[in-house]
Amino acid sequence: MIRANELLEKIEAYQPKADLAPVQQAYVLMASSHGGQMRRSGEPYLIHPLEVASMLADLHMDVDTIAAGLLHDTVEDTGLTSEEIEQSFGADVAFLVAGVTKISKTQLAFSTREAEQAENFRKILMAMGRDIRVIIIKLLDRLHNMRTLEHLSEEARIRNSRETLDLYAPIARRLGLTRIASELEDLAFKHLNPVEYQRIAESLGRNRTEREEVIAKVTAIISKKINDTGIGAAVAGRTKTIYSIYRKMIDKGMTLQAIHDIYGYRVLVDSVEDCYRALGIVHTTFKPIPGRFKDYIALPKPNGYQSLHTAVIGPLGNQAEIQIRSRDMHRVAEFGVASHWLYKDVAGVTQDGVNQGYKVIRQLLEFQQTSLSSEEFVEHVRVDLFPGETYVFTPKGEVRSLPRGATPVDLAYAIHTDLGHACVGAKINGRFFPLDTVLSSGDQIEILTGPRAKPQRRWLRFVVSARARSAILYWFRKQEHEEAIEIGRVLLDQVLHRFDHTLDELTEEESKILSDHWRFSVDELCHRVGLQRVTPLDALVPLIKEKGWPHRKERGVRRPLGIARMDGALIRLGTCCMPVHGDPLVGLIQEGRLVVEIHHRECPRVRALSDPTVHCLEVNWAPKGEEVYTARMHLVAQDRPGMLASITNAVAELGINIRESRTVNRVGRIAELIFSVQVHDAGQIEELTARLRYLEGVQEIGRLFKEQEEEDPDRQNDLVAAEAYKSGLESPSQSAIQESTHE
């Protein structure tokens, strides 16, 4: 147990001019507040905050952070308040203490323990967004608690260990606090899998003397070889941690006896040039293992970590991993985010508390903004905490780190949310690929975008980064909210038409009648009607009764439903029948989809409709505009020379563009052709049908109405968009595909 005077001496060693009065005052206040309290281990409670403060000093943290470490449990476990802490120590210390204080059970009602834990973790990470010192204190608080975990019940040990392994250890590693992360992993693994932990520990214990001899011998060889060249190098060796050995067994499917690379060595030199010189010496001294070299100096990890990693066969035939880095790089590797402080003076840090370029905080804030619940937020954090394993290049030569298995969509969202929303394809190393292509390290990626492109739900099946998943889900939630309002307006207008009114024509007084009755705005009423939480007639009854409107019979001609507003929010043309202007229509609203889908009346889906969750609307075309529609055609003809040319010429003479065509069946000398044409209305299709019907050899011609193809149409759109970009043609869903300018 460290004593108060020893803590002060430790701080003075790296901050000789610091004012230690806040630490002394914090100790006195902590000791009096926790006086008489005991831990589960039977020790005085004040031991815990003292140990946390000592570990903060080991990281060379500032005086305010150490004072907060001493006080971090006072608000939660004693009668001390945040206001009293702020009055005595200032706003910074009070904020740090509040950041690591759990939410009181009396503040919020939680349905489950998991929900409570998730909300507490969310609170901590959001405080980290303002000051990263919050999470450093919390990590060391968790580390000391894990060191004394054996005094808790088995259920509590397992719960805390799982949370530590899933959340706290990964975030420590993401922040570059490697030693803390490794100890958290080992301690959690010890309680989650005690049998396997003990087996590995006993095996390492039996061979301890032999391992120490190997480490000493290899360390001496490396040190002599490098220092003999005039490079001042410090070399140290160690055995890998128990959990890292276990992960290697699992990842590689190997037994403990088959794991040979349990040795790790670190070489510290003075400069970047010396790093590469030392690497050359290591590779000439020992045989390097192919495929095991990684250059994190040229391509740093997201947390700023830099080093050269290589694996070699040692003098005794054992595999060894060697890390080579400068002493400045080692400081970052040891202290992680704590090494990024931007000091204003000896005793203080900047208000932000961390380098502005640090990306972890921004990602967490984005997850906070786009997550519906604390549980979803924590799941996004859990998925995205592990550092990327794939390094790719943008067209400008910038390096981007992505999780293993990442796709162009993940990269697009990593660059900018708007770029992700607009992507339609990608050029990988100069070639066109669909959006679900898995990227490899070293690839150069150019994201292709379309001005009217939008996210696709199928992207959720292959994106791997939490940032991409979170942004896509948020976009759809926002769209669904807006679509629900639009659908509600359509349904309410259908009722109001019976009384010669529309929503847009309601006076301020009439709108107030509705809002006063329902106690929310007319827009919210539309939203609830669109979600079918309120029927359209029930929603309007208060207004109808108040105004005494007489009910009129339906007129023969319905008011058109604004189908010309094809902005993707309200109207979507069915891809199974692909109606064009002038076709007889029916609109379908499916519960949960929140969009009106327009179909040809003869569409097989409409004729076979039996789903009670799908509701039909009568819709009409608005006046004809300049829209271009795509229609599928089916043609059966003799398979004779020049047949395809005759068809193409006939279509071209009518000024109609063939977008794509393919032969789907050949039986003898009969060919079956499916092709898509771009037209302005149904009249053009009738004219085309008549022209083709009289071509020599044509046996059958007509519109093709069919159910959705088994192949995902969204994926086909990706491929067509990429081909359109390549050939300069217009995409079916975007008027133009243009190169990304987002950064």
The identity of residue 438, as a single letter, is V
Over the range 423-441, which residues count as b (16 or more CB within 10 Å of their CB) and which as e? bbbbbbeeebbbbbbebee
What residue ranges do the domains of the chain occupy?
A: 4-192, 202-340, 388-571+589-619, 629-707
3-state SS record for 462-516: CCCCHHHHHHHHHHHHHHHHHHHHHHHHHHHHHHHHHHCCCHHHCCHHHHHHHHH
**Would you mind telling me the total number of residues written for the chain in this entry?**
743
CB atoms within 10 A of CB 288: 16
Confidence check: pLDDT of 533 > 50: yes
Q: Based on the number of CB atoms within 10 Å of its own CB, is 657 exposed (0-12), middle (13-18) or buried (19 or more)?
A: middle
Q: Give the three-state DSSP class for 636.
A: strand
DSSP sequence for 579-610: --TTS-EEEEEETTT-SEEEEETT-HHHHT--
Calpha distance 405→390 (Å, rounded): 8
Can you state the percent helix, strand and coil of the chain, rounding each to 5?
Answer: 50, 15, 35
Note the pLDDT of residue 575.
Answer: 80
**Model confidence pLDDT, tens digit, residues 699-721:** 999 998 865 343 344 444 444 44
Same fold, 202-340 and 629-707: no
Long-range contacts: 666-673, Cβ < 8 Å, 24+? 666/639, 668/639, 669/638, 669/639, 669/640, 670/636, 670/637, 670/638, 670/639, 670/699, 671/636, 671/637, 671/638, 671/639, 671/643, 672/634, 672/635, 672/636, 673/634, 673/635, 673/636, 673/637, 673/644, 673/647
Coil vs helix vs strand at 364: helix
Q: What is the pLDDT of residue 362?
A: 56
Average pLDDT rounded to a whole number, residues 187-195: 93
Q: 545, 646 in Cβ contact below 8 A? A: no
> From CA 614, how far away is CA 587, in angstroms rounded?
10
Instruction: Report how far Cα 416 is from the mean position of its chain's Cα atoms.
Output: 12
How many CB atoms are closer than 10 A to CB 696?
Answer: 10
Q: What is the pLDDT of residue 203?
A: 86
- Token pair of 468 as six digits: 């991409």
Q: Give pLDDT, residue 710.
A: 38
Question: Which secondary-structure segment (H or E) carries 545?
Answer: helix 536-547
**Residue 741 confidence class, pLDDT cut points 50, 70, 90:** very low
The residue with greater pLDDT, 266 or 574, is 266
- Residues linked to residue 319 through DSSP beta bridges, in sequence order: 313
Averaged pLDDT for residues 345-349: 33
For 397, phi then psi, to 5°, come to: 90, 5
Phi then psi for 364, rounded to 5 degrees?
Answer: -65, -40
Query: Residue 568: is its pLDDT beyond 80?
Result: no
Please report where in the chains the tokens 């939203």 appear, as a residue: 527
Lowest mean pLDDT among 23-37, 82-96, 487-501, 721-735: 721-735
**Summary mean pLDDT of the chain:** 80
Q: Give the lowest-confidence range in 165-169, 358-362, 557-561.
A: 557-561
Higher pLDDT, 316 or 569: 316
The secondary structure element, H or E, covering residue 311 is strand 308-313
The tally of CA atoms less than 13 A away on the side-chain side of residue 703 is 22
pLDDT per residue over 127-168, tens digit each? 666 777 888 899 999 999 999 998 889 988 998 998 898 888
pLDDT surpassing 70 at residue 103? no
Higher confidence at residue 685 or residue 442?
Answer: 685
Residue of 375, 380, 373 whose CA lies nearest to 118: 375
What is the crossing angle of helices 643-653 and 682-693, to 10°? Answer: 140
Check if 410 is active-site: no
Query: Is pLDDT of 277 > 90?
Result: yes
| 703 DSSP β-pair partners | 633
What digits encode the pLDDT tens for the residues 583-624?
998 888 765 555 678 888 888 888 877 767 677 877 778 777
pLDDT bin (cut points 50, 70, 90) of residue 435 is very high
Q: Of 62, 64, 77, 714, which one is the catalytic site residue?
A: 77
pLDDT at 54: 95
Straight-line distance from the first to the last Cα atom of the chain, in angstroms, rounded to the nearest whole number: 51
Q: How many CB atoms lie within 10 A of CB 161?
A: 20
pLDDT of residue 268: 96
Span 669-688, average pLDDT: 90
Cα three-residue angle 212-217-219, rounded to 5 degrees: 95
In this predicted structure, the answer to whether residue 627 has a pLDDT above a threshold of 70 is yes
Domain 4-192: assigned CATH number:
1.10.3210.10
**% of the chain exceeding 90 in pLDDT:** 31
- CA nearest to 291, candidates 314, 309, 265, 273: 309
The domain 202-340: what is its CATH number? 3.30.460.10
* Amino acid 47: pLDDT: 92
Q: In what order do the strands lie in the sheet with 738-739?
A: 431-433, 423-428, 445-449, 738-739
Among the four given CATH numbers 3.40.50.300, 3.60.70.12, 3.30.70.260, 3.40.640.10, the one describing domain 629-707: 3.30.70.260
pLDDT band at 117 (very low <50, low <70, confident <90, very high): low
Mean pLDDT value across residues 275-286: 95
Q: Confirm whether 76 is a catalytic residue.
A: yes
Structure-token pair, residue 434: 């669909």
Lowest mean pLDDT among 362-371, 393-402, 513-522: 362-371
Residues 6 or more apart whose CB falls under 8 angstroms from that of 273 comprise none
Least confident of 217-231, 397-411, 601-615: 601-615
More confident residue, 189 or 480: 189
Query: Which range among 224-228, 550-554, 639-643 shows the weakest confidence by mean pLDDT?
Result: 550-554
- Using pLDDT thresholds of 50, 70 and 90, give the confidence band for residue 354: very low
Distance, in Å, from the CA atom of 404 to the CA atom of 715, rounded to the nearest integer, reads: 22
Confidence of residue 552 (pLDDT cuts 50, 70, 90): low
Whether residue 107 is predicted with pLDDT greater than 50 in this model: the reply is no
Q: What is the pLDDT of residue 112?
A: 55
List 58, 76, 166, 334, catalytic entry: 76
Q: What's the CA gap between 299 and 305, in Å, rounded? A: 9
CA torsion angle for 176, 179, 182, 183 (degrees, to 10)? Answer: -140
Is residue 52 within 8 Å of 1, Cβ to Cβ? no
Question: 342, 355 in Cβ contact below 8 A?
Answer: yes
